[in-house]
Amino acid sequence: MDKKLTILDILGFELKEQNSLNLHCLCGRKGLVRELTIPDLNRPGLALSGFYESFAAQRIQLFGRGEVAFLKKLAEENNYGSVEKFFSYQIPCCIFTHNLLPNERFLKIADDAGCAVLQTDLSSSEFNKRLVRILSDVFAPSKTMHGVLLEVYGVGILITGESGVGKSETALELIERGQRLVADDVVEISCINGSILKGTAANKIIGHHMEIRGLGIINITQLYGVGSVRDQKEIQLIIKLEEWNPDKVYDRLGNEEKTMNILGVHVPMLEIPVKPGRNVPIIIETAAMNERLKSMGYYSAKEFNKNVLKWIETNTAKTTYYKDE
């Protein structure tokens, strides 16, 4: 995996409420610069007992009540050989849950080895759940795309197209109509769990600003309020805007189900031709509502075809056909 994260980065995460890790460092501050390359944790019970075959030393080592009880037993026996061998590996860090505290000898061995020892008041299961969720997001495959990401009637829509086709202007009209902006111009997309695409602004500082030609940079939050923006959104539909091409045959019934492959996930895509007189924002809002209907199992185009076929099979249709003959 090419992404790298230091233990100091984890301590620096601005996490709140149900995502907070409640971490602080007990010793081994020199080891805070060690890199984490695998988004997972390891319970080191077997290693502390002397079994190091397939030891996942590259993972964060999590110490719960069981591990601390075993460390206490080693301390009573004055047996720190397994602890010294444990820290001979290049371990990213050790984390003690339940506000548990190792003895001074353990802390000294860790400090001499340059390995950070952290503590949290969370339970082992809760901490494991929170950290794995956070690390999965950080290490998720990602890419950047040129476009505008909005939430339209609860549907995450990525508007793409050539420069100057009117993406930002269309997005501005949608925001005026009550929809919400996620990112303009450059969208950072991450693939979560191999099936969900999460989009956010590539630059957090200018993420909720828009560039409108002839007007300049505008602050959407200041103009329309905090209710007009959000930090991230799952991408559920892609709308490609393009100049109207009279020689191109556009889908008029909705039978063609085009998709775009982003990071291995196939996202439904619509091609919307742009020309004077077309109200593109209303078309996009309708596309969002239609996508919500599809998620509930109703396909307008398929239903229309089914009704046409039923009509053709009726006697009325046959009578009309033979009458024309």
Binding site for Mg(2+): residue ranges? 168, 211
Distance CA 230, CA 252 (A): 33
Strands 24-27 and 5-6: unpaired
Report whether 199 contacts 182 (CB < 8 A): yes
Q: E strand or H helix at 316, and its extent?
A: helix 315-324
Which residues have a catalytic role annotated?
146, 167, 185, 252
For residue 248, what are the contacts with CB-CB under 8 A and spacing of at least 6? Answer: 273
CA distances from 302 to 104, 208, 257, 259, 309 (A): 70, 38, 11, 18, 11
Angle at 127 between CA 111 and CA 203, to 5 degrees: 90
Distance CA 111, CA 104 (A): 10
Looking at the DSSP assignment, which residues form a beta bridge with residue 232?
A: 200
Only one residue has tokens 């999460």, namely 198
Helix and strand totals (H; E) in the chain: 11, 17
List the binding residues.
Answer: 161-168, 211
Longest CA–CA span in the chain (Å) reads 104
For residue 216, what are the contacts with CB-CB under 8 A and spacing of at least 6? Answer: none
For residue 106, what are the contacts with CB-CB under 8 A and spacing of at least 6? Answer: 71, 75, 80, 83, 117
